[in-house]
Amino acid sequence: MLNTACNMKATEDIFRAYDIRGVYGEELDAEIGERVGLAFGNFLRKQYNGGKISIGCDARVSSPELQMAVSKGVSRAGFDVDIIGMVPIPVANYFTWKSNLNSEEYVAGVYITASHNPAEYNGIRFRHPDGTGFTEGNVEIKRIFFEEKLIEYDNGTISDLSSEEVLEDYMRFVSTKVGNLTGIKVALDPGNGVGCVVVDKIFERLGAETFSINNTPDGTFPNRPSEPAPKNLGDLIEVMNNGKFDFAVAFDGDADRCVFIDEKSNPVSAEKIGIIVSKSLITPDSNKVLAGVPCSMILEKEIPKIGGELIWIRVGDVFVCEELKKHNAAIAMEISAHFFAPGLTEFIFDDPIIFSLKLAEFINNSSKSLGDFSNEIPSYPYEELKFKCPDSIKFNVNEDLEKTFTDMGYKVETIDGVKIWLEGGWVLLRPSNTQPVIRMFVEATDSNRLTEIKSEFKNYFDKSVEKFID
C-alpha cells in the first residue's frame, strides 16, 4: 500500500447534495475525476475489502474521458471496474441492481452525467448495489477527498462490457412489466441524449408506432437544451400539431426525466401524470403515493379519490428512494418530472422509460385519451420566484418566517425548506445551497389569490431580511 498526494484543483462547490457536478475543463476534469474515483474507492474500503464496481455514462462529449478517469481512480483503490458505457442512467441502475440479484454482486455503481444541465457541464453520481443514489455517503466522500491522504492498493482490473447486451437485457426485463402496445402512436424526443439508444426501440418492440426527433446521441445538444421543460419542446409540439399521435414524451440528457404532451399538443404536468398512472399501480396493500413538497395541491384532493394515501417528501431522487423504502410506497413523483414506480418495476430508483411505457399501456387500454384524463383533474395557478438574500442570513430568514407563520396559527411543514399552507393556497421557501438566493414556490386556487399571496408574502420576506440586516 502506498500513500498518494496530488495537487488539489477542485473546489468544494462541485460537491452537491447527491452528486458531483461542474463545468468540464473549468471546475471538473479528468485529473479531478480520477482523484474522485480514488476517494470513492477509499470510502468503499471502509466497508469492503475489494470487489466490483459498474460504471456507465451519458452522451456528453466529455463523458467517455471522465468515465475512464473515474474508473482508473477506483481501480487504484483495488476495485475491479466493469465499464458498461453509454446507456441511460435507469439502465445503468438496473444493471447494477439486476446483477446483485444474481451472482455478480457489485459493491457499488458510478454514473457519469450532469443530468439536465447544459452541454458544458458534467458530473459523477455514486450508486448503491440496489441502484439508488448516495446521501450521507456523499458528505463522507467529500471529506475523504479534501481531508485524507488517499491510499492506493494493488490495481484492480478495468473491463469493457457490451453496452448492447446491457440494453438488450433491460429491454427483455421491461417487456415483462408492460403489456402489448399495438395500436398506440407515440412521438418521442430523446433530445440527442442517451435515451436515443433505447427509447424508440423498446416502444416499437412492444408494438407501438413511433415517430422520433432529435434521436441521434450528440452531447452538444444541438437541437434543444437538455432539460425537457415545455418551453424547450417547440419542435415536439409542432410534430404533435402536424400528426395524429396519442401523446408525446421528451427526455433529458441522461433519460431520468420525462415530460408528456397530450394528443392536442398540451403539456401535462408531472402531478397529473402521476395521478393517472397511480390508478393502475396502487393496491390495498401498497397505496402510498409520495410527492416532493413543491408539487401541486391537486394531489391532496385527487390521490384519496383513487384509494391512495399522499405523503409529502423532500426533493431529490436519493431522498425519494429512502422514503420509498420507508413507506413501501407504490409510486413517487417530483415536479421536475422524475417518476418512481416500485409497484411496477420491483426496483426503487426512478425510471421514466418504463413509466412512459406504462402510461402508454394505460391509455391504449382505455376509451379515454391522455387529454381527457388530464382535463378531469383541476389545474391551479403556480409560480416559482427567486429572491436575492445574503448567504449569511438566508437560513435565519427561513427560520424567522417559519416561526412567524406558526405563531399566526398556519399549518407549517419543514420537510424540505418551509412550506406554509394558507387560505386558498400555499407558499414554499427553499434557501439555495450554492447561491445567495431563496426560492419561493406559490400555488393558489385562482390567479387573483396567487397575486395576493405573492404580494403578502413578499412583504413578510422583506421585513424579515431587514430585521437581520439591521
Q: Which three cell numbers stand for residue 180?
A: 402489448
Question: Quick one: CATH architecture of 382-469?
Answer: 2-Layer Sandwich (3.30)
The SS3 of residue 222 is coil
* Fold: same for 2-162 and 177-375: yes
Q: Per-domain residue ranges for the chain? A: 2-162, 177-375, 382-469
Which amino acid is residue 46, in one-letter code?
K
Contact 259, 272 (CB under 8 A): no
- On average, the pLDDT of the chain sits at 94
DSSP state of 24: B
In sequence order, the 6+-apart residues with CB closer than 8 A to the CB of 435 are none
Is it the case that residue 386 has pLDDT exceeding 70?
yes
The SS3 of residue 438 is strand
In tens, the pLDDT along 54-74 reads 999 999 999 999 999 999 999
Alpha-carbon separation of residue 196 from 22, 219, 301, 347 (angstroms): 24, 11, 37, 23
Is it the case that residue 8 has pLDDT exceeding 50?
no
Q: DSSP assignment of 253-315, as one string?
A: TTS--EEEEETTS-EE-HHHHHHHHHTTT--SSS-EEEEETTS-THHHHHHHHTT-EEEEE-S
Question: Quick one: CATH architecture of 177-375?
Answer: 3-Layer(aba) Sandwich (3.40)
Note the pLDDT of residue 169. 97
d(CA 76, CA 19): 21
Banded pLDDT at 123 (limits 50, 70, 90): very high
d(CA 239, CA 352): 21
Is it the case that residue 358 has pLDDT exceeding 90?
yes
Mean pLDDT of 130-155: 94
In tens, the pLDDT along 320-348 reads 999 998 999 999 999 999 999 998 999 99
Banded pLDDT at 6 (limits 50, 70, 90): very low
Domain over 2-162 is classified CATH 3.40.50.2020: no
